[in-house]
Amino acid sequence: MNVVEKFIKYVKVETTSNEESTTCPSTPIQLNLAKLLVEELKALGLEDITLDDNGYIMATLPSNTEKELPTIGFLSHMDTSPDMSGKDVKPRIIENYDGNPIVLNESLNILLSPAEFSSLNNYVGKDLIVTDGTTLLGADDKAGIAEIMTAMEYLINHPEVEHGKIRVAFTPDEEIGRGTDKFDVKMFGADIAYTIDGGELGELEYENFNAANAWLTINGNNIHPGSAKNKMLSAMEIAFELDGMLPPNERPQFTENYEGFYHLVRMGGNVEQVKMMYILRDHDKDLYENKKEYFTNVVNYLNTKYGNETVEMDLRDMYFNMKEKVEPVMHIVDTAVEAMESLDIEPIIVPIRGGTDGSRLSYMGLPCPNLFTGGHNFHGKYEYICIQSMEKSVETIVKIIELFASK
């Protein structure tokens, strides 16, 4: 199978992760894809294939040279975001895209339009894979899986391409921030690695957000409104007050590049009690710490105003900026740049406005920049991917491996 056939096969397997689950993987359905991938790895002829109880897959493409070369790892994640359904995904190929709006779903009047998504203008004449407007596509990160698998298949079928030992891994639960919780770096045994989990053609990332999540429970006092004077305490109104105290311009819709933000991800409840979850993000470590401090001060102020434990908070660091760990081994970034340029791909080195498994792996001792998959508009019904970009991703993986063998 080529990369497109693999990708379409994978996205049809539901693998949505669940943040509220305490198991690993967070959803058993992720194991359905994991088992499929294990069988494909066996059929390809990779060795040392393992699938543990937590849903982590590892496999080896043995070296075919006598040279002493670093062991290189390539990783992607199997789960898709719980932000939108990943069940019954119906991918569709748009051949030779003509630049006009794409009707994703006629009955629901859902259009993928260049007027709203200008990136489409870059793909006139190219082939795209889109959704039917009712689910996400799953390019994040089943495109990465398909590209790694296709690259391994190419190397097996072309033994004349010299390479060292290659390790591949596919992980669960990246979308809920737990993708490397039980990843065994020592067992993986790579010296350096790349996640294949980026966006458009040429993206290369070795900086990401420092990230914290804050889970809040706001406790009110519900009294019948007819006799509520001086008695009722509305948890909903306190929630509005808390959100209004955060800097209005430091929200995702007003930020870009290296600018951080506070983001209310979800909330629900009533007068008696409200649950909220925020994410706090910044590339700069000092600004990140300031955000956590400011957020904590807001909570403390409300508890002083309304009484202790009115607002209960669980604030946790989730991951840190990998730049600190990658810069000492910048040759792995330089090699990726060289690989792209040799393939006439213009490298787009940008900070990740999010995180990848690679950010945590870098702090676990495995420096791990992130490479493009070719996808756009992840986590929603407007997600799409360019087939030619997927093919270039496969070529980039192979070229990186070749360059390490030639040095």
Domain ranges of the chain: 3-208+321-406, 210-319
Alpha helices in 158-234 (DSSP H): 185-188
Q: Which residues of 219-254 are buried (b: 16+ CB within 10 A; e: fewer)?
A: bbbebeeeeeeeebbbbbebbebbbeebeeebeeee
41-67 pLDDT, tens digit per residue, is 999 999 999 999 999 999 999 999 999
Class of domain 210-319 (CATH, top level): alpha beta
The 8-class DSSP code of residue 208 comes to B
The average confidence (pLDDT) of the chain is 96
Q: Where are the beta strands (DSSP E) in 62-144?
A: 72-77, 92-94, 102-105, 110-112, 128-130
Rounded alpha-carbon distances, angstroms, from residue 219 to 86, 234, 347: 34, 8, 50
Q: Can 174 be counted among the known catalytic residues?
A: yes
Euclidean distance between CA atoms 345 and 355, whole angstroms: 24
Euclidean distance between CA atoms 126 and 94, whole angstroms: 8
Rounded alpha-carbon distances, angstroms, from residue 170 to 41, 149, 271, 333, 399: 11, 10, 44, 21, 21
Q: What is the pLDDT of residue 355?
A: 79
Nearest one of 195, 166, 203 to 369, comparing CA atoms: 195
Q: 147, 174, 205, 395: which one is catalytic? A: 174
Euclidean distance between CA atoms 360 and 369, whole angstroms: 11
347-360 pLDDT, tens digit per residue, is 999 898 887 889 99
Q: 14, 40, 79, 127: which one is catalytic? A: 79
Q: How confident is the model at residue 373 (pLDDT cuts 50, 70, 90)?
A: very high
Q: Can 79 be counted among the known catalytic residues?
A: yes
Establish how many alpha carbons lie within 13 A of residue 244's alpha carbon, considering only the half-sphere containing its beta carbon.
7
Q: Where are the beta strands (DSSP E) in 192-289?
A: 192-196, 203-205, 210-219, 261-269, 273-282
Establish how many alpha carbons lie within 13 A of residue 323's alpha carbon, considering only the half-sphere containing its beta carbon.
15
Q: What is the pLDDT of residue 356?
A: 80
Please, which residues have CB within 8 angstroms of residue 185's CB and are 6 or more apart in sequence? Answer: 361, 364, 365, 366
Domain 3-208+321-406: CATH superfamily, name plus number: Zn peptidases (3.40.630.10)
Q: For the chain, state the CA radius of gyration.
A: 23
285-314 pLDDT, tens digit per residue, is 999 999 999 999 999 999 999 999 999 999
Question: Helix (H) and strand (E) counts for the chain?
Answer: 10, 18
